[in-house]
Amino acid sequence: MVLTPEEWVRQNFVQYLINEKNYPISMIAVEKQLSINNLKKRFDILIFNSDGSSKIIVECKAPTIKISQDTFDQIARYNLKLNADYLVVTNGLTHFSCKLDTLNEQYVFLQEIPNYK
């Protein structure tokens, strides 16, 4: 496997989740396929709750890629299928995390993602 800039971001973020946020490796899926409107897509990182439901989706970009509205649109489309509680986008230098507020149908931006409980 070639260590692309995006893969470097993904691997480092997984280590952050494990070492800093205490998420068990067994609850983290990396680069898995999903089908959205008959199109095959791949999410970068998905963290599960203990009941197997989706907790956090992480979209990784290379450090040279600026986080934009398109990045949020991409992860929001994935979340229509995955129904995660939190969304994170990162390019390794800049990180945005938000929680889905289902009552008001909006995303609330957070200072950081929650620790594993």
Judged on CB neighbours under 10 Å (0-12, 13-18, 19+), 38 is exposed
Share of the chain above pLDDT 70, in %: 99
- Residue ranges of domains in the chain: 5-110
> According to CATH, what is the number of the domain 5-110?
3.90.1570.30
> What are the angstrom distances between the C-alpha of 33 and each of 6, 26, 102?
17, 18, 25
Convert the pLDDT of each residue in 11-59 to its tens digit: 999 999 999 999 999 999 998 888 888 888 888 999 999 999 999 999 9
d(CA 75, CA 18): 22
Q: Global pTM?
A: 0.91
